[in-house]
Amino acid sequence: MPYNETEIKCVVVGDGAVGKTCLVKVYVDNKFPEGYIPTVFENTYLIQEYRGFKVNLGIWDTAGQEDYVVDPNPFENVRTRWLPEVTHHCPHVPIVLAATKTDLREDPASLKLLQQRSCKPVTTQEVEQFAKEIKAFSFQECSSKLNSGIKELFEKCIQAVLFPNEGKEGSKKQEESKKKKDCLMM
């Protein structure tokens, strides 16, 4: 079967310790790394088939910012730091929002810590609403520890570039992205 070949760059951005490197490692190596791995900057390339395309997927894992980790509002840094930075440097690139560490919704220690702060885990509905608010192409909940939703997350990044009109927004920005072959994951 002949393939259409394409190259896509997926840049992973976000706060430090939110699970960016783990989700890349699980996707590429199919193995969860134990312990925190601070990242300076790392590129990974892999070739895969997606809906009749031979995709050379370049995944750029960027460093987070440790000083933002303690913010109790999980969406605030996306809204005030990452989204403005992304839209400034890459104005026509689709965004796929990743809700990482979903396994912690059931973790007793995490739930206790949240309760002590009068907080609760973020719900799927809250993630979906926030994705719409920031005009993300899509969102995906995932857990690197459980290897849940990781493959689907990267497939949504590929879909955002190859089939931009299949996203919920279908915006002009997404049409522009098809020419650039880039996608950002937050």
Distance CA 132, CA 83 (A): 13
What is the pTM for the complete model shown? 0.86
Q: Give the rounded percent of residues in the chain with a pLDDT score beyond 90.
A: 55
* The pLDDT of residue 82 is above 80: yes
| pLDDT class of 171 with cuts at 50, 70, 90 | very low
- Which of 180, 160, 155 has its CA nearest to residue 170? 160
Return d(Cα 77, Cα 79) in angstroms, integer.
5
Distance CA 152, CA 137 (A): 14
pLDDT band at 67 (very low <50, low <70, confident <90, very high): very low
Q: Which is more confidently placed, 67 or 184?
A: 184
Rounded CA gap, 156 and 168, in Å? 12
- Which domains does the chain show, CATH number per domain? 4-185 (3.40.50.300)
pLDDT at 73 (0 to 100): 74
Neighbouring CB atoms inside 10 A of 176's CB total 14
Contact 140, 156 (CB under 8 A): yes
To the nearest whole number, what is the mean pLDDT of the chain? 84
> 30-39, 77-86, 155-164: lowest mean pLDDT where?
30-39
| 22-59 residue pLDDT tens | 999 999 999 999 877 776 667 899 999 999 999 999 99
* Angle ∠(138,141,147) on CA atoms, nearest 5: 125
Which of 20-24, 133-137, 172-176 is least confident?
A: 172-176
Report the C-alpha gap between 19 and 115 in whole angstroms: 22
Residue 68 clears pLDDT 50, i.e. is over it:
no
pLDDT surpasses 50 at 173 = no
